A and B are shown apart, each in its own frame.
Chain A
Amino acid sequence: DGGITQSPKYLFRKEGQNVTLSCEQNLNHDAMYWYRQDPGQGLRLIYYSQIVNDFQKGDIAEGYSVSREKKESFPLTVTSAQKNPTAFYLCASSTGTGPSYNEQFFGPGTRLTVL
């Protein structure tokens, strides 16, 4: 079955540690995205990538980094510079031409908790 997988489902981090969240898709989508979700704030865009080896900052990129070495993979690293990293992280992807390019499909999410 085609879809987006995120791992791990739950992640605990000590303050000062970097952690990497995995996102893999087998939908053959060109574009991939990372969002952060906090209660009562909807989703906010961290980074996005429209093509392999290229990515752009979203609205809240500070304290995060990404790479896009393969079409199917878009890992997110939460660095120690992120001051409040406890949140639910969602990965998404999209493809198509015209307006359909904006239709994003989401993974199941990773809940990160800083201890």
Chain B
Amino acid sequence: AQSVTQPDIHITVSEGASLELRCNYSYGATPYLFWYVQSPGQGLQLLLKYFSGDTLVQGIKGFEAEFKRSQSSFNLRKPSVHWSDAAEYFCAVVPSGGYNKLIFGAGTRLAVHP
């Protein structure tokens, strides 16, 4: 079945440490790829997106993500985490030809220790 998988439900890192959040999808053709962030009780904010071209994309708040076609992955990274990055992160996919229908992963909740 077509799906978006975020294998880590919860991740805890220390402030200043690096971060990688994993996202895998199971669609055959290259989809459009997104990462969103959600603070508790709030809406979602777009961090970055990939449509085509350079497979390393830069986003807001110092985040980046790399699309790896061979691994069907779009992992989110940040070299040094700040306490304000504590939130829930969602990977989302629009399947190729799946016109404006976002499919979301279940999310990864990030906690940051001082």
A107: interface (CB < 8 Å): yes
**CB-CB contacts of B32-74 with A at 8 A, as 1s and 0s?**
1010100001111110010110000000000000000000000
* CB-based contact A99/B44 at 8 Å: no
Interface string of B1-37 (1 = CB under 8 A from A): 0001000010000000000000000000000101010
Number of interface residues of B (CB under 8 A): 24
Contact between chains at A108 and B106 (CB < 8 Å) = no
- Pair B102/A102 contact, Cβ less than 8 Å: yes
Would you call A94 an interface residue if the criterion is a C-beta within 8 Å of the partner chain's C-beta atoms?
A: yes
Which residues of A lie under 8 Å from residue B107 when comparing CB positions?
40, 42
Closest residue on chain A to residue B91 by CB atoms: A42
Q: Which A residues contact B (CB, under 8 angstroms)?
A: 4, 6, 31, 33, 40-45, 48, 50, 58, 90, 92, 94, 99-109, 111
